[in-house]
Amino acid sequence: MEQRITETLKILTEADKEACEIVKVSENEPAPLNKKRLFIESYGCQMNFSDSEIVASVMRNAGFATTSSEDEADLIFLNTCAIRDNAEQKVRNRLQHLNALKKKRPGMLIGVLGCMAERLKAKFLEEEKMVDIVTGPDAYRDLPRLVEEAETGQKGVNVFLSREETYADISPIRLNSNGVTAFISIMRGCDNMCSFCVVPYTRGRERSRDAHSIIKEALDLFRDGYREVTLLGQNVDSYKWTSADGTEHVNFAQLLEQVALVSPDLRVRFSTSHPKDITDEVLYTMKKYDNICNYIHLPAQSGNSRILQLMNRTYDREWYIQKIDRIRAILGDDCGISHDMISGFCSETEEEHQDTLTLMEYARYDYGYMFAYSERPGTPAAKKLVDDVPEDIKKRRLSEIIALQQKLSLERNQRAVGKVHKVLVEGTSKRSNEQLQGRNDQNKVVVFSKENFRKGDYAYVLVTECTAATLIGHAVELATV
């Protein structure tokens, strides 16, 4: 899955904005007096949030309860992102604050998990001297042992990258859950060596999770009242699982169908798709099932073929356009499409920047995740290419990309006005307690009057107005649809 972080500038729905911000444990878990408390704070992409739910499960089995207050915690974990320098600086600043807290609470332990821990490894202990535990994304099962080591005054470190670990047998504890939507991790790692990206080095090689465990998790979630799942992976379209005895073979389109068959009342989303791997089979599966949402996140990164080659994206502009054309041909013009876009990549010219803008206009994206290029140590781009586009030019190009996306987002949302949308209610609107909000099939937030609907219900909403980020309307009777 293409990394999307807090600093990313994007035009999107309010619900998706929350998904890219720092997320903390939202509520206290009742615990006996002798039970220690864990506070988890997650940064970065949806995969990190999903991983934190696995960590919470591992630590619950080790005798920890979760808490929403860092002041009450015996153990604090920061699940980190390494996609940009700004993301890492946020973690360093946060560690300074937590270490000040630690001085007031002797015995409290601080651990850094995830991609930043994997990238810096033991250097975190040597240079930062602000953490007791450093654990990479594939070593979360080892956390109880590492905590025990840290409690004796030793430093706990495990940054081993696995070729097998998928955490398929661990039931995640749903943190910050609205009780309606949930993530299901279907694979880990990435084999796409994009020149700008640290993910293959911080999350390892691709491996797909047992299909049966995925279906079981989706079924369990539905029985527990959840009504939407998002299948997560660095590149979901390359999902491919074979049973130990070699009798079962499941690709992503087949998995998508099996999850959709759990119940017609369970909505299914997925993220992220790599343009080189998404197939017509996936698109036709989406078309076949009404409960598979009509929305695809298809990162482009650039609209220029030379830049795409430097990025090692393994496709060119024409290939990407063909994928957009297939999506529109099979799923229709109303299918929601979002993107990732980088401004100012190494040696990008003004003309090549214009190619990005014209690609955006061609694709007519609903929203996007946009940021200026940030060189990451250890990546092929850092080793072989020169980060030679001045910061002021990067920022100006980024501003132009954002401005165009605002225009496109508004135009796409205006198409929804006057139409009725099926909306899964996710909770109360931030604007008013008298309004509810949820998302429609195209992953757009819809705000409407509360009436008698409750969280988890489906409502049919006539959209009467919109902004570039939100659809606004009122509920109507099904008979009028």
What is d(CA 94, CA 116) in angstroms, rounded to the nearest whole number? Answer: 13
- State pLDDT tens for residues 7-36: 323 333 333 333 334 555 545 555 555 689
pTM of the model: 0.90
Predicted confidence (pLDDT) at residue 132 exceeds the cutoff of 90: yes
> How far out from the chain centre does Cα 325 lie?
25
What is d(CA 309, CA 386) in angstroms, rounded to the nearest whole number? Answer: 15
25 in Cβ contact with 60 (< 8 Å)? no
Predicted confidence (pLDDT) at residue 258 exceeds the cutoff of 50: yes
List the beta bridge partners of residue 50.
none
Domains and CATH numbers, the chain: 9-158 (3.40.50.12160), 181-338+349-363+375-383 (3.80.30.20), 420-480 (2.40.50.140)
What is d(CA 416, CA 464) in angstroms, rounded to the nearest whole number? Answer: 9
What is d(CA 400, CA 385) in angstroms, rounded to the nearest whole number? Answer: 25
Q: Which helix (H) or strand (E) holds 259?
A: helix 252-260
194 in Cβ contact with 439 (< 8 Å)? no
Task: Return the pLDDT at 121.
Answer: 84
Q: Which helix (H) or strand (E) holds 438?
A: strand 435-439
Predicted confidence (pLDDT) at residue 384 exceeds the cutoff of 60: yes
**pLDDT confidence bin for 194, thresholds 50/70/90:** very high
* Average pLDDT value for residue range 227-248: 96
Q: Any alpha helices (H) in 336-474, and if so which ranges?
A: 350-363, 380-384, 391-414
Task: Return the pLDDT at 2.
Answer: 38
- State pLDDT tens for residues 426-466: 999 988 889 999 999 999 999 999 999 999 999 999 999 99
**pLDDT confidence bin for 388, thresholds 50/70/90:** very high
Task: Return the pLDDT at 19.
Answer: 35
**If you search the block for the tokens 């089995």, which residue do you land on?**
61
Token pair of 315 as six digits:
């496709």
Residue 414 vs residues 129, 278, 319, 366, 431: alpha-carbon distances, Å? 52, 28, 29, 11, 21
Determine which of 38-47, 119-128, 140-149, 343-352 has the lowest per-residue pLDDT on average: 119-128
* Average pLDDT value for residue range 341-355: 98
**pLDDT confidence bin for 193, thresholds 50/70/90:** very high
